[in-house]
Chain A
Amino acid sequence: MAECHPVGFQWVMEAKARGARIFHVDPRFTRTSAMAHRHLPIRAGSDIVLLGALINHMLSGGHDFREYVLHYTNASVILNENFRDTEDLDGLFSGFDAETSSYDPETWAYAAEHRDETLSHPRCVYQVLKRHFARYTPEMVEQVCGIAPNDFAELADAVVANSGPDRTTAWVYSVGWTQHTVGVQYIRTAAILQLLLGNIGRPGGGILVLRGHASIQGSTDIPTLFNLLPGYLPMPYAHHHEDLDSYLERAAGDTGFWGHKRAYMISLLKAWWGDAAHAENDFCFDYLPRLTGDHGTYQTVLDQIDGKVKGYLLLGENPAVGSAAGRLQRLGLASLDWLVVRDLQLIESAMFWKESPEIESGERTAEEIGTEVFFLPAASHVEKDGTFTNTQRLLQWHHKALDPPDDARSDLWFMYHLGLRIRERLAGSTDPVDRPVLDLTWDYPEEGPYRDPSAEAVLREINGYDADGETLTGFTALRDDGSTSCGCWIYSGCYADGVNQTARRKPGAEQSWVAPEWGWAWPSNRRILYNRASADPQGRPWSERKAYIWWDGEQWTGHDVPDFEKTKPPSYEPPPDATAEAALGGADPFIMQTDGKGWLFVPRGLVDGPLPAHYEPHESPVSNLLYGQQANPVRQVYPRPGNRYNPVGGDVYPYVFTTYRLTEQHTAGGMSRFLPYLSELQPEMFCEVSPELAAERGLVHGDWATIISARSAIEARVLVTDRVRPLRIQGRVIHQIGLPYHWGSAGIVRGDSANDLLPIVLDANTHIQESKVATCDVQPGRRPQGPALRALVRRYRRMAGIPED
């Protein structure tokens, strides 16, 4: 956190100054470790064992926050008698189909019978959890993670001591948890731990994700993602005779706040298709294209190579450096008919046909690459109005300071004017496939010398309007009869009362510590989600020290906007036929869940199991000590030319590597490697190795090393340091190599890309790649130049018995 989110880390330091104890769990010692009380080096890819052992510690020692667990989680729910755990099936859950490598989740569903409030029924979630995690012991932590029992005990004791009515513990993570073939289950394990300890919905608690781009949260909320519509409504999948009703039935539950999904969806359709959308035509629901599987970025790249994708637009992203399997990324670009790159600098993804590892090795030449490339200069953040959504769901408006230079334009300008041109060309078309784009609402007021569309007008459309054209006050004002429009229901209220709430800048020093008048947080300016859980079932703060919102006899009040109906009393019991939020009780804090409870056990929604289980990374030096099942059985693998996998174990690729970022560079480098200050501060690609590994392989500090996988080989300067320590795993020494991934073939400072080493292998829930752990070899010296580079990679593959490309 100190490395990649340094200014956010000041709050960890504030907490430390007030007595908080800071643990840093990371394969490497970083600037975060330097400021923490304790650094726990861990083998990359083993976090579920550490977190699972903490869960086991809480359950077997009776340290759970019983009243919270009993009332606010599904601990007492009785499970289906046909459910089989990984304990019964050696690492698989019931419902697995080996032929399709997928689960049928039917047996994961709750049994019809009621809850067991004594938590003693053998099939209640609490008991199932206890049995499931019993094998996650401190000894297992030592054998799998490389963390000694006394270090584990120190962590476990600290977490216990710092949780309960009076205290809360927070877990902070980033892509170190998500970029695994078990990424979602990492976060699930943390969620189970935090729910058991009562650390969700309370100040100082939570599972806090630190995201790496200015509005990566916003681009998830208003998704430039294939599987979502704005506000986490799902994109429709292809079915026979699918209409709005059957879509909504599948989209979400009927109880809890998703119960208003019809209002959210119809308001979105009204925002997009205006008067053309009405009850008689299902509000243009059929205008939405349908999905049939994984259409994520990695599938798209493979489809590019296979000639299925003709055109590609890169809008402020540099996959030639920033995405896994860099060579495949660039081969994908080289297979296109045309490519549009919008950026500030001539990044690698714009220059791949001229400067790239493939050009250098002679594998490709510009004369053979048929891709037509357009580079369109982008406006910077100071040259346009708009909002970023930061990592805590806070929308902040940034004001345009000046016009962009020359041909540089905002992406708002680009999309708007491209849309105008496309609609002009299609005008008069009678082909039904053109109706969605011709009926689209696309009339934004223009401003400035370049005819920029008004960003405020777009934000107002996102906020939504009522039937009279007034901006909506919030999502509870949305209707399902077509009388309201709203571009993203969770953002409704960001322009309440006709005021741009996201532009509020009341100085922090002039308001409470919650700072509710700085920017605007979704939903409804609530700063801590599910904050009803900060009070006990009767509505009283769990303790004076942790008071946040509470019931004052008539309504919910406190330091934040209640994430709950303001006047629903704690004693409220839903009538049997109630829907939406009315179906949740006054002591059900998790208002987006169908039952209002935090889910320790997840009966539906995940494709790889209702509970987390440790699986080894796809590429691992060791076998799975916990189960016979080696790796996540439903992970997405793509064994094909260019994407060969290193075998498990063996001597050819004996080392683990992990990729990461540095304070002075930014992700794929498009915004940092071209800046003189930052280039000077972090001028060169390097690898971090321990003195022991350096001795084993003859690596010299400051000299060069070549790192080799089945995909490619890269070179890096050697940094011999105690910051990476060899770990003793299952009786043998495991070396880990640290690789920053910022560099490429363009910019002021250049170097090889760590992502070239990685394969495409994905978490099946998110389709995110496993880039935090893979295996490799390392040798002293620079890598071969020209055709010898691919020859080296081939030679290694042959040694490991991997199929030829």
Chain B
Amino acid sequence: MGIESWPVIRQLTGTDPLGRGRAARSGRTDALVPRTRTADRVADSVCPYCAVGCGQKVYVKDEKVVQIEGDPNSPISRGRLCPKGSASKQLVTSPTRQTTVLYRRPYATEWEPLGLDEAMDMIADRVIAARRAGWQDAFEDKPVRRTMGFASLGGATLDNEENYLIKKLWTALGAIQIENQARI
């Protein structure tokens, strides 16, 4: 490229003597495009923080979330997101996000790795055993057919469909201590 493309020359000879406009742009600047434009796909979503329910657009490129923006079509949020909603890409892509199973033995001082399948099998065994251990056919002479052996807490951050399966399975197992943040 010739010397005439240098910013200082363009600043001195062009229409931008203060170097605050066109003269400050480089070829690289001109070539930049928003991540939202180069994404492979975009999914319509909803902000996961508070219960206002702001619309989100989730941009994915090369199977990674590259941007999350407010959805201007939402009649609730009209494209806006608060500081938390605006940070939700970090919620998904956080480098400290724990993405593998960890296991802590009784009395251990450290975590150890564990396979997901094995963990699921171990949890299934423990749920069945705790259910049995805490089983009550009757309480103060009245039939209850329930277990007090295990309890579950959580649901307010989850989907309706997830809450539905939690309540359905636990209730069928006879568990009653099923709770979530709505009690808090």
The one of A312, A388, A462, A505 in contact with B73, judged by C-beta atoms closer than 8 angstroms, is A505
Contact call B160/A422, Cβ cutoff below 8 A: no
Can you offer 29 A-B residue contacts whose CB atoms are under 8 A?
A: A5-B50, A7-B85, A210-B51, A214-B157, A215-B51, A215-B157, A226-B176, A240-B141, A289-B147, A295-B177, A313-B152, A368-B107, A370-B106, A376-B119, A377-B97, A382-B68, A388-B48, A389-B160, A390-B76, A391-B53, A398-B45, A400-B43, A402-B63, A407-B116, A417-B120, A418-B127, A425-B124, A666-B84, A671-B84
The count of A-to-B residue pairs whose CB atoms sit within 8 angstroms is 479
Supposing A235-B176, A418-B127, A440-B168 touch, asked if A290 and B142 sit within 8 A by C-beta, the answer is yes
Q: B125 near A: Cβ within 8 Å?
A: yes
In the assembled complex, the Cα of A672 lies from the Cα of B87 at a distance in Å of 9
Residue of B with least CB distance to A503: B44
Q: How far is the CB of B40 from chain A (nearest CB, A)?
A: 10
Contact call A388/B160, Cβ cutoff below 8 A: yes
Supposing A317-B153, A367-B109, A437-B172 touch, asked if A239 and B142 sit within 8 A by C-beta, the answer is yes
Residue of B with least CB distance to A441: B168
Residues of B within 8 A of A238 (CB): 139-140, 142-144
Contact call B76/A218, Cβ cutoff below 8 A: no
Residues of A within 8 A of B183 (CB): 225, 296-297, 766-768
Residues of B within 8 A of A315 (CB): 152-155, 158, 162, 166
Q: How far is the CB of A234 from chain B (nearest CB, A)?
A: 13
B60-88 vs A, Cβ < 8 Å mask (1 yes, 0 no): 10011100100111111110111111111
Spot the interface stretch: B12-20, B27-35, B129-137. Answer: B129-137
Q: How far is the CB of B83 from chain A (nearest CB, A)?
A: 5
The one of B47, B78, B101 in contact with A377, judged by C-beta atoms closer than 8 angstroms, is B101
Residue of A with least CB distance to B174: A289
In the assembled complex, the Cα of A217 lies from the Cα of B183 at a distance in Å of 11
Contact call A388/B163, Cβ cutoff below 8 A: no
Contact call A382/B150, Cβ cutoff below 8 A: no
Supposing A235-B176, A290-B142 touch, asked if A374 and B44 sit within 8 A by C-beta, the answer is no
Contact call A386/B159, Cβ cutoff below 8 A: yes
Residues of B within 8 A of A366 (CB): 107-109
Contact call B167/A224, Cβ cutoff below 8 A: yes
Residues of A within 8 A of B182 (CB): 216, 219-220, 223, 225
In the assembled complex, the Cα of A394 lies from the Cα of B128 at a distance in Å of 37
Contact call A214/B91, Cβ cutoff below 8 A: no
Spot the interface stretch: A338-346, A729-737, A777-785. Answer: A338-346
A269-296 vs B, Cβ < 8 Å mask (1 yes, 0 no): 0001000000000000011111110011
The one of A312, A343, A766 in contact with B152, judged by C-beta atoms closer than 8 angstroms, is A312
Contact call B164/A458, Cβ cutoff below 8 A: yes
Q: A567 near B: Cβ within 8 Å?
A: no
What 4 pairs across the A-B complex have the smallest Cβ distances? A508-B75, A386-B159, A390-B53, A315-B154
In the assembled complex, the Cα of A406 lies from the Cα of B63 at a distance in Å of 13
Residues of B within 8 A of A376 (CB): 101, 116, 119
| Residues of chain B at the chain A interface (Cβ within 8 Å) | 41-56, 58, 60, 63-65, 68, 71-78, 80-88, 90-92, 94, 96-109, 111, 114, 116, 119-130, 133-135, 137, 139-169, 171-184
Q: How far is the CB of B33 from chain A (nearest CB, A)?
A: 20
Residue of B with least CB distance to A221: B160
Supposing A218-B163, A391-B51 touch, asked if A323 and B158 sit within 8 A by C-beta, the answer is no
Spot the interface stretch: A74-82, A111-119, A408-416, A542-550. Answer: A408-416
Residues of A within 8 A of B68 (CB): 382
Residues of B within 8 A of A101 (CB): none
Other than the given A309-B134, A425-B125, A519-B53, 11 more pairs (CB < 8 A) read A214-B49, A214-B156, A218-B159, A297-B153, A297-B179, A337-B130, A338-B130, A375-B111, A388-B53, A395-B160, A672-B87
A26-37 vs B, Cβ < 8 Å mask (1 yes, 0 no): 000000000000
Residue of A with least CB distance to B77: A7
Residues of A within 8 A of B154 (CB): 224, 313-317, 342
Contact call A375/B102, Cβ cutoff below 8 A: yes
Spot the interface stretch: A58-66, A159-167, A474-482, A673-681. Answer: A673-681
Residue of B with least CB distance to A508: B75
A335-364 vs B, Cβ < 8 Å mask (1 yes, 0 no): 001101011111000100110000000000
In the assembled complex, the Cα of A311 lies from the Cα of B129 at a distance in Å of 9
In the assembled complex, the Cα of A524 lies from the Cα of B81 at a distance in Å of 28
Contact call A676/B90, Cβ cutoff below 8 A: yes
Q: A775 near B: Cβ within 8 Å?
A: no
Residues of B within 8 A of A442 (CB): 169
Contact call A678/B177, Cβ cutoff below 8 A: no
Residues of B within 8 A of A702 (CB): none
Contact call A292/B139, Cβ cutoff below 8 A: yes
Residue of B with least CB distance to A217: B51
Residues of A within 8 A of B80 (CB): 7, 10
Residues of B within 8 A of A368 (CB): 107
What DSSP secondary structure best describes chain B's contact surface? mixed
In the assembled complex, the Cα of A29 lies from the Cα of B165 at a distance in Å of 42
* Total number of A residues with any Cβ neighbor in B under 8 Å: 164
Residues of B within 8 A of A223 (CB): 163, 167, 178, 180, 182
Residues of B within 8 A of A316 (CB): 154-158
Residues of B within 8 A of A603 (CB): none
Q: How far is the CB of A195 from chain B (nearest CB, A)?
A: 25
Q: A698 near B: Cβ within 8 Å?
A: no
Q: How far is the CB of A294 from chain B (nearest CB, A)?
A: 10
Contact call B102/A671, Cβ cutoff below 8 A: no
Contact call B144/A289, Cβ cutoff below 8 A: yes
Q: How far is the CB of B166 from chain A (nearest CB, A)?
A: 5
Residue of B with least CB distance to A387: B160
In the assembled complex, the Cα of A323 lies from the Cα of B121 at a distance in Å of 30
Q: A538 near B: Cβ within 8 Å?
A: no
Supposing A312-B150, A390-B51 touch, asked if A289 and B82 sit within 8 A by C-beta, the answer is no
Contact call B47/A214, Cβ cutoff below 8 A: yes
Contact call A226/B177, Cβ cutoff below 8 A: yes
Q: How far is the CB of B104 from chain A (nearest CB, A)?
A: 4
Q: A17 near B: Cβ within 8 Å?
A: no
Q: A426 near B: Cβ within 8 Å?
A: yes
Contact call B163/A215, Cβ cutoff below 8 A: yes
In the assembled complex, the Cα of A458 lies from the Cα of B161 at a distance in Å of 6
Residues of B within 8 A of A675 (CB): 87, 90-91, 94
Contact call B179/A224, Cβ cutoff below 8 A: yes
Q: A155 near B: Cβ within 8 Å?
A: no
Q: How far is the CB of A436 from chain B (nearest CB, A)?
A: 5
